[in-house]
Amino acid sequence: MTDRPDVLIVGAGPAGMQAALRCRALGLSVVLLDEQGGPGGQIFRHIEHADRRARNVFGDDYAAGHALARDFLGSGTTYLRHAIVWEVAPGPLVYALVGGHSRVFEPRRVILATGAMERPAPAPGWTLPGVIGAGAAQILMKSSGMVPEGPFVLAGSGPLLYLLAQQLLRVGARPAALVDTTSPGNRMRAVGPLAGALGSWRVLLKGLGMLGDIRRAGIPVYAGATHLAFEGDGRVTGVAFRHRGRPHALPANVVLTHQGVVPDTQLTRALRVPHAWSDSQLCWLPATSALGELSSTQGIFLAGDAAGIAGAQAARLLGEVCAWAVGEQLGVVDPRRRARETDPLIRRLARWKALRKFLDTLYRPADGQRIPADDVLVCRCEEISAGAIRGFVREGCLGPNQAKAFGRCGMGPCQGRQCGLAMAEIIADERGVEVGQVDVLRARFPVKPVMLRDLIV
Amino acid sequence: MSGTGFFRAVPALKREGGSVSIRIDGRACTVRAGLSVAAALLEQGAVRFRQTPVGGAPRAPLCMMGVCFECLLEIDGIANSQSCLIEVRDGMRIGTQDGAARLAGMTEGAAP
């Protein structure tokens, strides 16, 4: 029975695929739902069809996804592509559109592995066509073999920006400039956490390699840039910023922006799971047990970057941990064996978390890139500016959920995915309180656009 | 959709895998099979996917992974389809969405 599997997994990235593999090895029936046309999530996007050229351009870490996807596809998991999950309810129940048809699943356990998204970083002109995420550009490269047209600039901060520059250079697409908004002060603060990250020296060396490639290619780098703004009328035509106290403006047909990645919490927020503000990752993290089970909703687990950003390797480990915990709950693994299996996995996770602490400190997005000036649009859908949100606060608005009533902020088609984090930080800043003291923006089911006929199932 | 677009296929990564015929706002065009609708429009040189219902501002894809809702198009009669999550199919009819949607049969200025 496809619709009553032992385990239903949402997301075919590293966490979801690894969880599926382990659940299948434990003899459990598994359905995996994923929005994309192939396995891999965003990190291993299009890995099923990646040829040697693609693996050379995207590197060993990407190529490693090929074996995982192959094992996953051969695991006996009922893998449903182009499946849009629009509700997860206690029970658990999972509602999805699969190939345009409504389906309801009643699994015994659920593992959510919905991954990460690029941090929305409101800046002047960020809604202009042609201003696009660095992650989005990498997706276009991996899945469609496309690169930016005409002069393009990379602007922002974080490892993905440098990795993308390196990959673009490998296919002959040369950025006109790298406008790096990483605060110079971050480096000093990152010295402490660096000690803990040295165990992951291979990753650190890879990072140095990226920066080396950018330097050797002679791409102008504006390190420590501030006041990033995208310019144009109807489409982006350039990027403006301040560097070493002086204003600069560069022409660009496309600007690729990045300010790190954050967990995709749409489903856990709609499930009313308690979320705590992480001051190191500058985002909300859902509350879970050490084995990944949602603290508020029994039988639903959370694996991978959706539980907190830690990278693809850590995502696989956490997917494996969740699968063992599910096995224990369903009685196919005894508690002692489960502990024997998960204890070393959790110790290995700690190493990746130590690396992440270093990266989070070094590439902490600058305050000015997260908490914008009054004239900047924050809610792209309803076109609500930071100034309007500050106005709501002066009228008594205490948090993002009240801001919906004050001015529809977060109530457009994206349902707060783009404005939620910035709104929380702006309101906290204006109120003069810690972000953790304002509430997390609640999401509502359905979390995806569905036709009325699809709701009647 | 004329002039310089935002993205182009690069020979070092482009795969040859056949093509499909689609219609974009009534105009027939041939695109590579296997692309998402959003990627296909970008390769066709599209710079404006829609105009916002609130202020009429032009928008184009930001995330390409289903979380920004800037690539919403009418696809085979279904409005607000996330074009980055849907693959092109032969005979597909795609319409850009400009401004606020109107219900079928409603005329300009009619009270909802």
Per-residue pLDDT band for B99 (boundaries 50, 70, 90) equals confident
Nearest to A146 among B7, B52, B72 (CB): B7
Sheet holding A226-232, edge to edge: A226-232, A236-243, A246-251
Task: Please report, in tens digits, the pLDDT of each residue of chain A (457 residues total).
Answer: 459 999 999 999 999 999 999 999 999 999 999 999 999 999 999 999 999 999 999 999 999 999 999 999 999 999 999 999 999 999 999 999 998 889 999 999 999 999 999 999 999 999 999 999 999 999 999 999 999 999 999 999 999 999 999 999 999 999 999 999 999 999 999 999 998 999 888 889 999 999 999 999 999 999 999 999 999 999 999 999 999 999 999 999 999 999 999 999 999 999 999 999 999 999 999 999 999 999 999 999 999 999 999 999 999 999 999 999 999 999 999 999 999 999 999 999 999 999 999 999 999 999 999 999 999 999 999 999 999 999 999 999 999 999 999 999 999 999 999 999 999 999 999 999 999 999 999 999 999 989 888 887 6
> Chain A 389-428, CB below 8 Å of chain B: which residues?
412-414, 417-418
Nearest to A118 among B4, B63, B72 (CB): B63
Comparing C-alpha atoms, which of A91, A63, A79 is closest to residue A16? Answer: A79
On whether any CB of chain A is under 8 Å from the CB of B69, the answer is: yes
**CB contact at 8 A, A273 and A319:** no
What distance lies between CA A68 and its chain's CA centroid? 20
**CB contact at 8 A, A340 and A315:** no
Q: What is the pLDDT of residues A321-357, one digit of tens each?
A: 999 999 999 999 999 999 999 999 999 999 999 999 9
* The pLDDT of residue B108: 47
Contact A135 B65 (CB under 8 A): yes
For residue B109, pLDDT over 50 is answered with: no
Nearest to B47 among A129, A140, A383 (CB): A129
Residue A271 CA to residue A293 CA, distance in Å, equals: 13
User: What's A66's DSSP letter?
Assistant: H
On whether any CB of chain A is under 8 Å from the CB of B101, the answer is: no
With 0-12 / 13-18 / 19 or more C-beta atoms within 10 angstroms meaning exposed / middle / buried, residue A226 is middle
Q: What is the pLDDT of residues A271-307, one digit of tens each?
A: 999 999 999 999 999 999 999 999 999 999 999 999 9
User: What's B87's DSSP letter?
Assistant: B
* The pLDDT of residue A457: 62
Comparing C-alpha atoms, which of A454, A369, A410, A413 is closest to residue A124? Answer: A369
On whether any CB of chain A is under 8 Å from the CB of B81, the answer is: yes
Nearest to B64 among A82, A84, A136 (CB): A136
Q: Is residue B105 part of a domain?
A: no
* The pLDDT of residue A453: 85
* The pLDDT of residue A2: 59
Contact A145 B43 (CB under 8 A): no
CATH code where residue B51 lies? 3.10.20.440
On whether any CB of chain B is under 8 Å from the CB of A172, the answer is: yes
Q: Is residue B60 part of a domain?
A: yes
Per-residue pLDDT band for B2 (boundaries 50, 70, 90) equals very low
Domain span at residue B59 reads 17-98
* The pLDDT of residue B15: 81
Query: H or E element: which one contains A177?
Result: strand A177-180
The domain total for chain B is 1
In the block, residue with structure tokens 């927020």: A269
CB contacts, 8 Å: A234 with chain B: 47-48, 58
Q: Is residue B110 part of a domain?
A: no
- pTM across the whole model: 0.96
Q: What is the pLDDT of residues B21-64, one digit of tens each?
A: 999 999 999 999 999 999 999 999 999 999 999 999 999 999 99
Residue B109 CA to residue B102 CA, distance in Å, equals: 10
* The pLDDT of residue A29: 98
Q: Is residue B55 part of a domain?
A: yes
On whether any CB of chain A is under 8 Å from the CB of B60, the answer is: yes
**CB contact at 8 A, A378 and A385:** yes
* The pLDDT of residue B104: 52
What is the value of ipTM here, to two decimals? Answer: 0.96
Q: Is residue B49 part of a domain?
A: yes
Q: Is residue B8 part of a domain?
A: no
- β pairing state of A177-180 and A152-157: parallel
CB contacts, 8 Å: B15 with chain A: 49, 51, 145
* The pLDDT of residue B112: 37
- β pairing state of A152-157 and A254-259: parallel
Q: Is residue B21 part of a domain?
A: yes
